[in-house]
Amino acid sequence: MPSKTALVESNRPRKSRPTMIDIARLAEVDVSTVSRALAGSSRVTDETKQRIRKIVEETGYVVNHGARMLRNQMAGNILVILPNIAATFFPEVILGIEETVHKEGMSVIIGSTQYDRTREDELARQLLNGAADGIILLNGHLPDAVRSFPGFEQRIVAVSRAIEEKNIPYVNIDNEKAIETAVLHLIGLGYTDIAHLGGPRISPTFAARIKGYEMAMAGAGLADRARVEAVERFNIDGGQIAMEQLLKNGAPPEAIVCASDEMAMGAIRHARKNGLRVPEDIAFVGFDDIPFAAVYEPALTTVRTPRRKMGELGAQMLLKNLKNPSAKAKRIIVDHELVVRESCGASFRRG
Q: For residues 310 and 160, is the Cβ–Cβ distance under 8 A?
A: yes
Q: For residues 161 and 138, is the Cβ–Cβ distance under 8 A?
A: yes
- pLDDT of 233 reads 86
Q: For residues 341 and 296, is the Cβ–Cβ distance under 8 A?
A: no
66: pLDDT strictly greater than 80 = no
329: pLDDT strictly greater than 60 = yes
- Residue positions counted in the chain: 351
Q: Distance between CA atoms of 49 and 94, rounded to whole angstroms?
A: 29
How high does pLDDT run on average in the chain? 86
pLDDT band at 127 (very low <50, low <70, confident <90, very high): confident
pLDDT band at 100 (very low <50, low <70, confident <90, very high): very high
- pLDDT of 20 reads 74
Q: What is the third-level CATH fold of 74-172+307-333? A: Rossmann fold (3.40.50)
Question: What would you report as the CA-atom Rg of the chain, rounded to the nearest whole angstrom?
Answer: 26
DSSP assignment of 289-344 equals --TTTTTSSSPPEEEE--HHHHHHHHHHHHHHHHH-TTPPP-EEEE--EEE--GGG
HSE, side-chain direction, 13 A CA sphere, residue 92: 14
- Segment among 59-63, 205-209, 249-253 with least mean pLDDT: 59-63
CATH of domain 175-305+338-350: 3.40.50.2300
DSSP assignment of 169-227 equals -EEEE-HHHHHHHHHHHHHHTT---EEEEE--TTSHHHHHHHHHHHHHHHHTT-GGG-E
Q: For residues 298 and 278, is the Cβ–Cβ distance under 8 A?
A: yes
pLDDT in tens, 157-179: 999 887 878 788 999 999 999 99
Q: What is the pTM of this model?
A: 0.74
- What percentage of the chain has pLDDT greater than the value 90? 51
298: nearest Cα among 309, 285, 312: 285
CATH 3.40.50.2300 maps onto the chain at 74-172+307-333, 175-305+338-350
Rounded to 10 deg, the angle between the 20-27 and 31-38 helix axes is 100
pLDDT in tens, 283-328: 999 999 998 999 999 999 999 999 999 999 999 999 999 888 777 7
For 123, residues 6+ apart whose C-beta sits below 8 A from its C-beta are: 79, 81, 111, 113, 143
